[in-house]
Copies of this chain bind each other. A is one copy, B any other.
Amino acid sequence: MSTPAVAIIYTSNGPVETALSALHHTLPVPIGTQVLAETVCSPINPSDVRQVTGANPFKQKATTKLGTDHPVTVGGNEGLFRVLQVGKDSPLKAGDLCIPRVPGLGTWRTHILCDQTDLVCVPSSLTVEQAATIGVNPLTAYQLLTQFVDLQKGNWVLQNGGNSAVGKLITQMARIMGVNTISVVREREDFESVAEELRDLGATQVITDTQNQDLTFSVAEWIGNSSVRIAFNCVGGTSASALVKKLSQGGTLVTYGALNGADLVIPFATPEFVFKGIVATGYWLTANIMRDPELKIKTLEKVYRYYQQGLLKAPSFSKARCSFEDFAHCYQ
């Protein structure tokens, strides 16, 4: 018995309004190690949209397995699936909740037929929101905090984009680790209420971008004898340079995004490299997981534990229940 399904596909890069379309197709009964699952929910991340437009260098694989004449690509990298049926050689069972094991599986679809090795089961104790959004932002936050510097209790981390989903997760995870945070957020009328929300999540200090870029503004009084070991930059430009000024000797700047646009530059004065011994590098979850899928599993287990212990709040997001025919409007 075949299952009717809809997938949001693209055949070439372009604006989401014109590149995406809904593909109605049917999926056969799973055989061997295959799994047939329904989609519980599938987030839309800015990076998913950039894959459609072509701004992201990671290319999802196109396929003709959905019955099309030409290869098509299913959008989306995050999603929560509930297993409906399994082939006789699959260790999964109906009702299991799963997320994609590696990027590029294509999650914007009502149903998926794939090999069981394409999926990772998640604990049923997680909420739908926790499980559906666990694969990108929490992993990014945890790996940023743990892959570059061996942070000790009492150390400080500094970040711009402090009010972003990743920013809030970094703040919460740093608190769990006993690490202090300074979060930079944009100047805004409701700064105090945003700052209070971030402090509630665990931010030690919250400053405005104006304070961050003010060369007379010093964090020395907060830090005392401790160190600002690492700074996380998702903005670029002068905001990133201002983070570097606050790093301690030998500090690390990790760039993981460019909210202000992908071609912004990060100016470094040579003495910061030569005399202050700064290391500047980048982080890209997709490349990290493609290189080492096992690391994803290990990181997920840390995040499960945080959620199960009630130590971590999933970042908020806007929910949309949209018709598959009108899917492109969800991206607006």
Q: Are A273 and B282 in contact (CB under 8 A)?
A: yes
Known contacts A265-B267, A265-B268, A266-B268; decide if A256 and B274 are in contact (CB<8 Å). yes
B-facing residues in A34-67 (Cβ within 8 Å): 57
Contact between chains at B236 and A270 (CB < 8 Å): yes
Question: In whole angstroms, what is the CA distance A271 to B264 when docked?
Answer: 9
Contact: B268 with A263, CB < 8 Å? no
Q: Is A307 positioned at the interface, with any CB of B under 8 Å from its CB?
A: no
How far is B267's CA from A257's CA once the two chains are assembled, in angstroms? 16
Residue among B265, B267, B275 making CB contact with A284, cutoff 8 Å: B275
Copies in the complex: 2
CB distance from A73 to the nearest CB of B (A): 19
Q: Which chain B residues border A99 with CB–CB below 8 Å?
A: none
Whether B287 lies near A270 (C-beta < 8 A) is: no
Complex alpha-carbon distance, A268 and B254, angstroms: 13
Are B269 and A274 in touch, CB under 8 angstroms? Answer: no
Within 8 A of B (CB), among A250-285: 255-258, 262-284
Q: Which of B266, B271, B278 contacts A281 (CB 8 A)?
A: B278
Using Cβ atoms and an 8 Å threshold, which residues of chain B touch A258? 270-271, 274
* Contact assessment for A287 and B282 in the assembled complex, using a CB-CB cutoff below 8 Å: no
Instruction: List the B side residues contacting A283 at CB < 8 Å.
Output: 274
Residue of B nearest to A280 (CB): B280
Residues of B within 8 A of A275 (CB): 57, 282, 284, 287
How far apart are A271's CB and chain B's nearest CB, in angstroms? 6
Chain B proximity of A255: nearest CB distance (Å): 4
What CA separation (Å) do A273 and B272 show in the bound complex?
17
CB distance from A278 to the nearest CB of B (A): 7
User: How far does the Cβ of A266 sit from chain B's closest Cβ, in whole Å?
Assistant: 5
In-complex Cβ contact of A271 among B262, B268, B287 (8 A): B262
List B contacts of A266 (CB < 8 A).
267-268, 270, 273
* Proximity string of chain A (304-327) to chain B, C-beta cutoff 8 Å, 1 when within and 0 when not: 000000000000000000000000
Say whether A273 contacts B255, CB under 8 Å. yes
- Given the complex, which residues of B lie within 8 Å of A236, measured CB to CB? 270
User: In the complex, are the beta carbons of A268 and B280 less than 8 A apart?
Assistant: yes
Question: Which residue in B57, B264, B269, B284 is a CB contact (below 8 Å) of A269?
Answer: B264
Write the chain B residue with the least CB distance to A234.
Answer: B270
In the bound complex, do residue A279 and residue B277 qualify as a contact, i.e. CB atoms below 8 Å apart? no
Within the complex, the shortest CB–CB distance from A270 to chain B, in Å, comes to 4
Q: Which residue of B lies closest to A236 (CB)?
A: B270
Give the Cβ gap from A239 to chain B, nearest Cβ, in Å: 11
Q: B-facing mask of A203-227, CB < 8 A → 1, else 0?
A: 0000000000000000000000000
Can you sample 7 A-B contacts with CB below 8 Å?
Answer: A236-B270, A256-B274, A258-B274, A265-B267, A267-B267, A274-B282, A277-B287
List residues of chain A with CB under 8 Å of any chain B CB: 57, 236, 255-258, 262-284, 287
A-B complex: 10 closest residue pairs judged by Cβ atoms? A273-B282, A265-B267, A258-B270, A255-B273, A274-B282, A280-B280, A279-B281, A266-B268, A236-B270, A57-B275
